[in-house]
Structure 1
């Protein structure tokens, strides 16, 4: 089973789609994050949840 770590980003109402897309693509490219969930609120703000797999090394003897 995989283990993930999560990061939450919040974008206020006035954030353009292009600016949000650029921020998400930078996290994906440089931090190896992937999109897990997007929540759009009635006031226009967005909460984006990103995740990435935790790689654990197995000790060999």
Structure 2
């Protein structure tokens, strides 16, 4: 038998944040840009409520170490 290569789907971790209604669009953009640059987060979902508050869900890949065998 020939061993088959196992393909693993990427795993993600999620972080939910709530931005208050007084947050400007520019301030929210700057905050999300910093999270993306320094925390390696990417935007998964953003919801804008009628009262002006925002709920943000960020995600990033979980990189698993594979143990090497000698």
Residues paired across the two proteins, number:
61
Larger radius of gyration: 2
- Give the CA deviation at 1:44: 1.2
Alignment partner of 1:22 is 2:30: yes
Tell me the secondary structure at the aligned position of residue 10 of structure 1: strand
2:60 corresponds, among 52, 55, 61, to 52
Q: Normalised by the size of structure 1, how large is the TM-score?
A: 0.94
Moved over 2 A (4+): none
TM-score normalised according to structure 2 size? 0.83
Give, in whole Å, the separation in 2 of the partners of 1:17 and 1:41: 13
Match of 1:12 in 2: 20
Query: Unaligned 5+ residue runs, structure 1?
Result: none
Per the alignment, residue 40 of structure 2 pairs with: 32
| Structure of higher RCO (CA pairs closer than 8 Å, 6+ residues apart) | 1
